[in-house]
Amino acid sequence: MKKGDRLEGIVVETMAAEGKCIAHHEGRVVFVTGCAPGDTVDIELTKIKSSFLEGKAVQIKKYSVARTQPFCTHFGMCGGCSWQHIGYKTQLQYKQQQVADNLERIGGLALPPLRPIIGSEKQTHYRNKLDFTFTANRWLTREELNALPTPLERGSGGEVGLGYHIPRMYDRVFDVHTCYLQPEPSNSIRLLARKIAIENNIPFFDLRKQIGFLRTLTIRTANTGETMVILQVTYDKQEWIEKILSGLADSFPQLTSINYIINGKRNDTFHDLDIICWRGKPFITEEMPQPTGLGKLHFRIGAKSFYQTNSAQAFELYKTVFDFATLTGNEWVYDLYTGTGTIANFVAAHAKKVIGLEYVADAVEDAKANAALNGITNTEFFAGDIKDLLSEQFLLEHGHPDLVITDPPRAGMHEDVTRMLLAAAPQKIVYVSCNPATQARDLKILSEKYLVKVVQPVDMFPHTNHVENVVLLEKE
């Protein structure tokens, strides 16, 4: 076999990591994109290995009963909601199985029965933050190409757009008409910004040539109704900035925070750049019920702040952490990778002391501000690389934890951090993960002293292959 060969009439069996499907051919596993479990497909091979094959479905001969009609016109081109064609209940089943498979196969762990996954009440319009990219040469769909009078290379039509990157193509952006991820006024704000820019001949950025003015538009919404806009441009030209921002401000009174960033770099990251608040406050405010249902917590979200992008499910996630912790009010708690202190502040009223560790200094300042905003006085936050920060000396100075809550990024915890947890030996560890594979790797190390007592998957991102997982560990 070679790349480009076809396998015909292959039955797709199940889902795999990264949203791929699994089939088998002549004893080898075949990872397939562009299909659903239960489909019968013809596959064009894209990778040949001795132990497995990879390919894409080029023809679906029989559709699976698990399929449903995608709701977005951009489905198949956008990488955002790649599971739209699979019913939500079926999505949850595969996510639950993904957690079990990772913990058992990678971690080699003896597991209690997994709790049923907590699904998201909202499957559309659940995100509170989206980033859109301006492009001077938008990606043209096949239909648009066919309508052109002369053939053109895809994406070279010279038409502007404001939308998302094509998966795995840094310099290709397609124009978004309607996105179902974020509630209004998100779509309306994006479309108006695009319209104002075109009408005033404001140059869109060319990602290949690195020329142009308009780079990105970030929209953050809060459950309080407040909305933030962040416009990123390459240089300071107030006439153009004013045109767009004043146009948005006049049309959307719910814009309580309007900001812009001057970014002359070759990438769009802005954590090292100044945020200029053009109008309103430099933050918006989210509300979250307290775990016991008495009153609400408030969190200020700045342009650089991290906050769980599914606000409603964030409560379910943190409530799971709180339930696993079974706090009595006497515990010394460490919250690793605390971010803006959301989990630390969520559990603080029920602990003696909560110490948050975070490597992003700006996030630590947000965490302190959020504690003050809610009148919380028993939290402390420290900034630094956690593998260096969490040491025997730190434990001596700040006390040994009875409970550790850890919520690391997708890469999981550094092995030094995992080993330090074994040395600190808290009675309980609550491990929150957005990547069950790296969580399983870390749990394998922690299993030297700890047993997995409870596993609770949580779906934060419907119509994607991502799944959050919370594990309670208790010292043997």
pLDDT over 80 (residue 181)? yes
pLDDT given at position 154? 43
Average pLDDT over residues 4-32: 91
For the segment 104-128, what is each residue's pLDDT rounded down to a tens digit? Answer: 999 998 899 999 999 999 999 999 9
Question: Average pLDDT in the 33-56 region?
Answer: 94
Averaged pLDDT for residues 337-358: 96
* pLDDT value at 157 more than 80: no
As a whole number, the mean pLDDT across the chain is 93
What confidence score (pLDDT) does residue 156 get?
45
The pLDDT, as a whole number, for residue 150 is 56
Q: Is the pLDDT of residue 18 over 80?
A: no
Instruction: Kindly tell me if the per-residue pLDDT of 49 is higher than 60.
Output: yes
With 0-12 CB in 10 A as exposed, 13-18 as middle and 19+ as buried, what is 247? middle
More confident residue, 158 or 130: 130
pLDDT tens digits for 226-256?
999 999 999 999 999 999 999 999 999 999 9
Q: How confident is the model at residue 302 (pLDDT cuts 50, 70, 90)?
A: very high
Say if residue 153's pLDDT is above 50: no
Residue 194 in this model has a pLDDT that exceeds 70: yes
46-65 mean pLDDT = 94
Q: For residue 9, is pLDDT > 70?
A: yes
Burial class for 146, CB neighbours closer than 10 Å (0-12, 13-18, 19+)? exposed
Query: pLDDT tens-digit profile of 402-454?
Result: 999 999 999 999 999 999 999 999 999 999 999 999 999 999 999 999 999 99
The pLDDT value given to residue 152 = 46
Dihedral angle of Cα 331, 337, 341, 346, to the nearest 10 degrees: -50
pLDDT band (50, 70, 90) for residue 141: confident
Q: For residue 95, which of 115, 109, 80 has the smallest C-alpha distance? A: 115
Helix axes 436-446, 88-105, angle to 10 degrees: 30
Q: Does residue 185 have a cis bond before it (omega within 30 degrees)? A: yes
With contact defined as beta carbons under 8 Å apart, do 227 and 220 qualify? yes
The pairing of beta strand 173-175 with beta strand 161-165: antiparallel
- Domains belonging to the chain, first-starting first, are 6-67 (2.40.50.140), 96-122+310-475 (3.40.50.150), 129-285 (2.40.50.1070)
- Active site members: 434
